[in-house]
Amino acid sequence: MINDYCVGIAYGTGYFVNDEKGSYLVVRNLDKWYVENIAEATGYKAYESANNIERDKKKQWVVKARNIHTLPSMSDIQCKKDFCRAYIELHGTIDVRVTKSMYKPRLRVYGKEKIISFINNILPAKEKKIQYIKNRVNEKYIGETCAIYYQSKVEILEILQWIDGQLKNEKVWEKWNDIMKNY
């Protein structure tokens, strides 16, 4: 079975495909880092795909992990830090907000309500109210996503310290650390 960092990647950017032999995990991402981790963990090869090139303006990386037929439920995840690290790298953003001419860092994490609720309950910060965001493209409603916002520098630093670990996307962490150092 794959490690919990890879489970976080799969929850964040994977989906299951059904064919005549059954279902299997497919992971796609613009960042090769995540796909290569799944490829290494499952023994399958990562490759570039032009499938969504019109939308993304560049090729995606893909791995078809035909030996993964299910993922553990979130309650069965052993190392929650690893899961959260991968998921937040994929669906979190740290930026700066301006309040009363002051600049303050903000961490936002997006996703399905079930995953956001799970993360909200285990991060080392005060539980946040889940925000429900209606997604629109060209004024057409295309669905809803959820988000949690952390706007305290102390909380953000505690979260980053708690989720930090061996497997991590260094490019993402460098960006986050640069923002946190400057504010």
Pair 178, 99 in one domain: yes
What digits encode the pLDDT tens for the residues 107-131? 999 999 999 999 999 999 999 999 9
Q: Is the pLDDT score of 56 beyond 80?
A: no
pLDDT attached to residue 100 = 85
Residue 128 sits in a domain of what CATH number? 3.10.28.10
Number of domains into which the chain is organized: 2
- Cα(38)–Cα(154) distance, rounded to whole angstroms? 33
* Whole-number Cα distances in Å, 86 to 70, 80, 118: 18, 10, 14
φ, ψ of residue 135 in degrees (nearest 5):
-90, 130
Provide the domain limits for residue 94.
Answer: 80-182
- Cα(130)–Cα(37) distance, rounded to whole angstroms? 30
What is the reported pTM? 0.93
Region 40-50 average pLDDT: 95
Pair 127, 42 in one domain: no
Pair 162, 108 in one domain: yes
Pair 94, 116 in one domain: yes
Pair 91, 155 in one domain: yes
